[in-house]
Amino acid sequence: MLPSPLSAQVTVWALLLAWLAVCVIFDLRSRQVPAFLTVLPLILAAIWQLIQGGWQLVALVALLVLISDLPKAKWRIPIACAATILSLSIPGSPGIVYAMLVVFAVWALWEIGASGGADAKIIITLVLFFSNGLLFIPIVLVGGVQGLVGLIAGRKTIPYTVAIVVGTVAWLWMISYSG
Amino acid sequence: MRFLRDRAAIETSEVAVIIAVVVLVAYGAYQLLGARIAEVVRDVAGRL
């Protein structure tokens, strides 16, 4: 007997949250997340996005990964801007457009050193998986609260995976509630 | 693959707060002015 679509969705969300929980554990222990925990899900989410037809979003992510290896650092962000504008010119759903903007913003924050690579890859994986950049809003709002608490407590850095997991749970709750 | 190899999971507290404020302001502006901006864009497109 085939599983119902609802139970399949619940299973996928449970697996997603379990993966995020493991990332949080590594982050809290060492402020690092092993590459296999971020690269493998990123590849799986890219394959999923290709199946969904969002090839332009996957192409943008692949381009940004390649651009990050350009030898001249000062050219990386301008070239990434051009790649993003080019990707945005390809017709797509509003969700894909937001997703592209978020992917670029997250990558750019990593490129200027404002964010960790593991955090950036996890957020991009989630955006690829849900095909919607609006997921970024609850994550950054929770991150803002976490940052504020960090500042009050006198901590210079925060484990951002906590904001990612709490923001994702809030996002899942919102999309479940809105049907 | 510098991006794929980076394992750091760290964010500066100040940056987290700044990003949250920027996103909140941008989202608020979009909610307030989004319909008006779309109207202006449609008007310009119509004139062209």
Q: Which residue range forms the structural domain that includes residue A44?
A: 5-177
Best B1, B18, B19 member to test A by mutation, with max A CBs in 10 Å, is: B19
Predicted pLDDT of residue B44: 77
pLDDT at A24 over 70: yes
| Complex ipTM | 0.81
Residue pLDDT, tens place only, B37-48: 777 777 777 776
Three-class HEC string of A69-94: CCCCHHHHHHHHHHHHHHHHCCCCCH
Helix (H, G, I), strand (E, B) or coil at A157: strand
A120: chain B residues, CB-CB within 8 Å: 3, 6
Interface with chain B: mutation pick from A40, A77, A160, highest number of B CBs within 10 Å: A160
CA–CA distance, A18 with A21 (Å, rounded to integer) = 5
For residue range B14-45, what is the model confidence (pLDDT) as tens digits?
989 999 999 899 888 888 887 777 777 777 77
Closest-CA distance, B28 to chain A, in angstroms, reads: 12
Per-residue confidence (pLDDT) for residue A77, from 0 to 100: 94
Q: Total domain count for chain A?
A: 1
pTM: 0.89
* Tokens of residue B14, six digits: 């100040």
